Amino acid sequence: MSRLAHHVFFTLKDNSPEAVASLIGDAQEYLNNHDGVIDFSVGRRDAELDRPVNAVYDVSLHVIFSDRATHDVYQTAPRHLEFISRQKENWASVMVCDSLLEA
């Protein structure tokens, strides 16, 4: 069974320090500690790393699930849906990258 990496990159309409802190705080409260999560991190983009290859976003979320099935349950979990409800109005764009991990 392969672990699944779920990476989400948020670009915010209001990317003030307060709005970024709100998204990070809600992610920590509502998206961490779900069944099957084996690693979790969330943080703001490091603006000092400004190279042509760097993507532009405000906050990144990285969740490693033990398998695809636990990821699928997470997608409809009430806490995940509450996070979306609380934060979605400030999202200019969201990019999701999911990967099956080989190592």
- Phi, psi angle pair for 25, to nearest 5°: -65, -45
Q: What pLDDT sits at residue 1?
A: 76
For the segment 81-97, what is each residue's pLDDT rounded down to a tens digit? 999 999 999 999 999 99
> Which domains, and CATH codes, for the chain?
4-100 (3.30.70.100)
Residue 28 pLDDT greater than 80, yes or no: yes
> Do the beta carbons of residue 34 and residue 70 sit within 8 Å?
yes
Q: What is the pLDDT of residues 45-86, one digit of tens each?
A: 998 998 999 999 999 999 999 999 999 999 999 999 999 999
